[in-house]
Structure 1
């Protein structure tokens, strides 16, 4: 048993040369809701290699689904939103740490590669949204697009569901929040500017690292760091408020960049920033562990131990109030650096509140005259 860790690490180093390019997860983990497990055997992979064949396709598949509702009530006390909506389930960005991976299991897929390669498309999202916010009992409250998966992921370029939803928000003068790490949001600058003129939109741009090498490993199909910073700049120049999400902080990978990240987003016009701590809940712990031992074998054990130290000895932390903040000395150092960054770069800045007063007048699609 004493030799097992040595051979395991040696094997992971050899496997690091065979990373699936363009993907975060390197395998499909079992779905906890399914009785049977699909497993790709090593002898089958070796056969495919010798025959010059692919064991499975790495192409992205778009699958239409037909939900009855689109707006979700968020019950978690750790998330700064009450309502969210997601035009897409699954996300081609492939961020290895993404908490949304677990949601793919509810649809019968894996939280691993399936999450990145099988994208579920909700074409009826604009109509469902309109029905929801026109309901007589609905009171305006910020609905956040991308509470789970990125509404500006690559699929949006083809299906344009997010843009159609923004047009619904504008028509009914309803407040909307957006979370994204894709520069594609600038395509909809015209609609965003109109929403901003009524104080109806706030944008959250995720910037995880200033290193392109780190970004490509953590978030393989996302916009480059420079494009994200430029997106913050363009939005801010057009008076559209931007909060930078410096998240997640992963000790041993990007946690040392907090001050530099805060300065960069401030210099490009962000009104505020927020951080969250990495939390590898559910199947993500297994997916992340497999990935880091292949993608960063030299630091894998160190990073995993640091994450455990910040979550009470486990990489899977479900405790409300702590799971997104972490605990212990390392986590405290990260939060102290964030406080210092706010003093240095965001002293006189703040993210504005959205307008909830207009919607009631526009529930019928036009302002009431009487």
Structure 2
């Protein structure tokens, strides 16, 4: 196979990445260079392509001590939100696609996911614990409006009284307010809404197709008013670019109705590092050096540290300062109160194996 990468530094409308880095699993590579002869120009916009793939299993299991869940469901591979910093980008290489523009434009929709989940929940010995939806790419990215796979999963989980946690930066979650409200009445759901910046201009290039900051705060407010436990994840905190907004983001989330919060430091595994550095050089060249210097100070001098216990928050003086600021802000704005956390513990004892698929959605 020969991989042809696009020239770096090309800004495309509605896309975060400026190029396609080489797929690390490909045996050969080819680089486009300007040798003075005529070459076809790179398009300034790229359409989204979707292929369907029949899923063989629904639940993805993990034993990571950094994660608050041991199982998750991922309806889609790749994400049209196009967040340049997304730690899930390297996973696209497993499907012979690039973690760059391919990750945003060549998506894979899993079909048959609800049926596989039903089978797995019916297995003898299954132990009910909260399922995270989703652990890799956003379950409420624009593709969900077409496939409604996330909604079908919530229908199934409600029917069998199975707890679920959701993390999203998509406004489409409000479409499922009816299901979320019913799940919340039975202590079966918690939602976290990701906030990165309140700067709409920064968001436009950092997260080109994700919901706006105003829309995400509206999601928090609507969920809270509906009685659905909701919090915010300030992620990623980008040193030298968004870290100064940490307190303002927590305050805005609290005012909107969030009761819990978390934060994560920018993560740059594998191909994400060159993609992010190129994005910085293209959009914020005057800050690029400072940002990467601070990132490396938090990562032992490297772009990324994958060690458990370090990869989410980093280490060193700057990372410790961020944690201190976060804790102080949470106390100031009434977030993560122990009594509230205890009250939001999800119910697992009500779980019952789902009915046969033939009568799962039967209407009386």
TM-score by length of 2: 0.91
Structure 2 counterpart of 1:23? 15
**Which of 154, 157, 160 matches 1:166?**
154
Structure 2 counterpart of 1:358? 350
- Within 5 Å, give how 1:89-238 maps onto structure 2: 89-238=77-226
Q: Please tell me whether the aligned partners of residues 16 and 82 of structure 2 are also in contact (alpha carbons under 8 angstroms).
A: yes
Structure 2 counterpart of 1:67? 55
Structure 1 counterpart of 2:64? 76
1:38 CA drift (Å): 4.5
**Which of 15, 26, 32 matches 1:40?**
32
- Figure out how many residues of one structure are paired with residues of the other and give that number: 346
1:44 CA drift (Å): 9.1
Q: Please tell me whether the aligned partners of residues 118 and 354 of structure 2 are also in contact (alpha carbons under 8 angstroms).
A: no
SS at match of 2:247: helix
SS at match of 1:99: coil
Does 2:322 align with 1:334? yes
Partners of 1:255 and 1:46 in 2: CA distance: 44
TM-superposition CA deviations, 1:320-365 (whole Å, max 9, x none): 11111111111111111101111101254734111101113x5447
Partners of 2:123 and 2:155 in 1: CA distance: 18
1:120 CA drift (Å): 0.3
Partners of 1:46 and 1:142 in 2: CA distance: 56
Q: Please tell me whether the aligned partners of residues 19 and 295 of structure 1 are also in contact (alpha carbons under 8 angstroms).
A: no
SS at match of 1:274: strand
Q: Please tell me whether the aligned partners of residues 156 and 354 of structure 2 are also in contact (alpha carbons under 8 angstroms).
A: no
| 1:44–1:27 CA distance, 2 compared to 1 (3 A) | farther
Q: Please tell me whether the aligned partners of residues 45 and 55 of structure 1 are also in contact (alpha carbons under 8 angstroms).
A: no
Tell me, which stretches of 5 or more residues in structure 2 are unaligned?
1-7, 360-364
Partners of 1:184 and 1:150 in 2: CA distance: 11
1:37 CA drift (Å): 2.0
1:43 CA drift (Å): 5.0
**Which of 223, 234, 247 matches 1:259?**
247
1:240 CA drift (Å): 0.5
Tell me, which stretches of 5 or more residues in structure 1 are unaligned?
1-14
Partners of 1:325 and 1:81 in 2: CA distance: 18
Question: After the TM superposition, which parts of structure 1 deviate over 6 Å for at least 4 consecutive aligned residues?
Answer: none
Partners of 1:363 and 1:201 in 2: CA distance: 18
RMSD, matched Cα? 1.8
SS at match of 2:63: coil
Structure 2 counterpart of 1:287? 275
| Larger displacement relative to structure 2 (242-251 or 339-348) | 339-348
Q: Please tell me whether the aligned partners of residues 93 and 153 of structure 1 are also in contact (alpha carbons under 8 angstroms).
A: yes
1:90 CA drift (Å): 0.3
Q: Which has the higher helix share?
A: 1
| 1:316–1:331 CA distance, 2 compared to 1 (3 A) | same
TM-superposition CA deviations, 1:274-300 (whole Å, max 9, x none): 001111011111111111111111111
TM-superposition CA deviations, 1:31-90 (whole Å, max 9, x none): 1111122533335996334xxxx5596111001112210101112222221111100000
Structure 2 counterpart of 1:299? 287
TM-score by length of 1: 0.89
Partners of 2:225 and 2:32 in 1: CA distance: 50
Partners of 1:190 and 1:343 in 2: CA distance: 32
Partners of 1:38 and 1:101 in 2: CA distance: 21
